[in-house]
Amino acid sequence: MKTRFVTIAGVIVAALTLSFLQTTTPPYAMITGPLKTSGQQGEAVTSTTFSVQVGDVARARTIGYNRFGEAVALESSGVWVVVSAELRGFKETMPVHGATIVGASGRRYRQSDRASGAPDVLSTKVLQPGLPTTGIFIFEMPEDETGTMTLVVSEQYEPQLQDEISLTLEPQDEAVRERLDIGPDGI
């Protein structure tokens, strides 16, 4: 009788222990997730491998630029958000392909493929240690998402055990422009 009681108690304790371990184990995506650093627009936010300093943020209904000598104008049913930034790499030559804006609702907007041919786009450049690199990120998103924005930058989208820098962008007080021209040196 005593042996049976001990056995049942042991099984219950083991089940509770396993249940506790299962519910408190962080998910794989969290264990191997990004190494996060955060800051504000205007300040140089530095991680181990690179830094980002956001300059201007502009919103427009249409963006225009020259590509291979031809004028390009891209309209949006939402708004274009163009962010200028200076990036610095510290350890090794690296690209910065991952840039996302987290909008007011929490939805995430990656860089626009429609505007990938625009000049001075940072995702087409490579950071060289010791050399600052300036350029722009271009996003297309609904206007009501631009009230509160956070820019998230990383070497690749969905980084694993790699640096990811988040920058809270200042509230956009100015009205949305009808047109924003992007030159060879950005905005």
Partner 1 sequence: MRLFASGWTSVQMAFERERRIRWLAIISLPVLIAAAVGINAWRNIGDYRHGIEIDVAQGASELDYGGAAWRLEQARLIGDGRDTDVQLPGEMRLIIVRLAATAIDDIGEGWGECSVSLTDEAGRRWLPLDVVLSDDLSRDLDPVAEPLDGCGISSLDPPARHQSTVIEEKFVVPATAASELLVHLSFGALRPAAIAFPLGLS
**Residue 14 beta carbon to partner 1: minimum distance, rounded to whole angstroms:** 13
Q: Counting contacts by CB under 8 A, is residue 131 touching partner 1?
A: yes
For residue 173, what are the contacts with CB-CB under 8 A and spacing of at least 6? none
**Residue 131 beta carbon to partner 1: minimum distance, rounded to whole angstroms:** 5
How far apart are the C-alpha atoms of 102 and 152, rounded to whole Å? 8
Query: Checking phi first, is residue 159 left (phi over 0); if not, alpha (psi -120 to 50) or beta?
Result: beta
**Residue 27 beta carbon to partner 1: minimum distance, rounded to whole angstroms:** 21
Contact yes or no for 177/151 (Cβ under 8 A): no
How far apart are the C-alpha atoms of 128 and 142, rounded to whole Å? 34
Contact yes or no for 87/127 (Cβ under 8 A): yes
Among 128, 156, 158, 183, binds partner 1 (CB under 8 A): 128
Tell me the window of 45-53, 61-69, 100-108, 126-134 that interacts with partner 1 (CB under 8 A). Answer: 126-134
Q: Which two tokens stand for residue 12?
A: 């219950």
CA Rg value for the chain: 23
Site for partner 1 in 55-94 (CB under 8 A): 90-93
Q: How many positions of this chain bind partner 1 (CB under 8 A)?
A: 8
Q: Counting contacts by CB under 8 A, is residue 156 touching partner 1?
A: no
**Residue 154 beta carbon to partner 1: minimum distance, rounded to whole angstroms:** 18
Nearer to partner 1, 7 or 93 (CB): 93
Q: Counting contacts by CB under 8 A, is residue 16 touching partner 1?
A: no
- Report the interface residues with partner 1, using CB under 8 A: 90-93, 128-131
